Amino acid sequence: MTRPRAASERFVAQLSDRVRSRVDVIYSPILEIRPLRVVVETDGIRGLIFTSANSVNAAASLGVKPDLPAYCVGPATTGTAKGAGWDALMVGNTAEELVAYLLKHRPESPLLHLRGEHTRGNVAGRLTESGLTVHEQIVYQQRLLPLTSEAAAATSGDRPVLAPLFSPRTARQFAEIWTGTAPLWLVAISEATAEPLYSLDYERLKIAKEPTPKKMRKAVKKLVKHAMRVERGETTD
């Protein structure tokens, strides 16, 4: 698992018992989240935009009061925001869907997009250009990490290595640091996440049908099943 440890553990815990019994889970975060020590000013702001659970957690750690509506991408981010006390509304599974929703419904503005230092979609800029004023503030850093020694050892073994990738940036990092010879099975949350992985010598790459944790779990389940059939010498479809 390549996500930050807490997010990886949540994902694994939500896999079925059958899937978990068929794999040995190795936690090797290749991205570390570090909240910044900044002051978030919300005077005059009419709502917040969260495009990741990391931004919600960073905002909460910085003492941002949950007294504004929050427009969120995806069920994980929305659930995290609700758990932290925000009146959170899921307005799409991607930044594109969030932008489309906000431009259609035109909530009171200005809005404030709290985000990491690396992000996709230029949410604030695109919305502002379209007449909905949105400010943005970076509230956390994303530091790339190498594989752990345990993960590095697995990459040179004979057993298949199955790696779920949840963002284009971690996919690029994974593609750069993978030097293993073990059979490689990849799951990408989106086509954009899959793109950096095409350069790798993999056995199979599966893209989730939707960029959601539920569809990622389903994709992992299918790939585990295929990998086990290959190990047993059976034909895959």
Domains and CATH numbers, the chain: 5-32+145-231 (3.40.50), 40-142 (3.40.50.10090)
110 by Cβ neighbours in 10 Å (0-12 / 13-18 / 19+) ranks as: middle
pTM exceeds cut of 0.85: no
* Phi, psi dihedrals of residue 235, rounded to the nearest 5°: -80, 135
pLDDT band at 236 (very low <50, low <70, confident <90, very high): very low
Does 78 score more than 90 pLDDT? yes
Q: Calculate the CA 231 to chain-centre distance.
A: 29
pLDDT over 70 for what percent of the chain?
A: 97
pLDDT band at 212 (very low <50, low <70, confident <90, very high): confident
* Rounded CA separation 186/198 (Å): 10
| Angle of the 213-231 helix axis to the 74-83 helix axis, nearest 10 | 130
Does 237 score more than 60 pLDDT? no
Does 235 score more than 70 pLDDT? no
* Rounded CA separation 188/197 (Å): 9
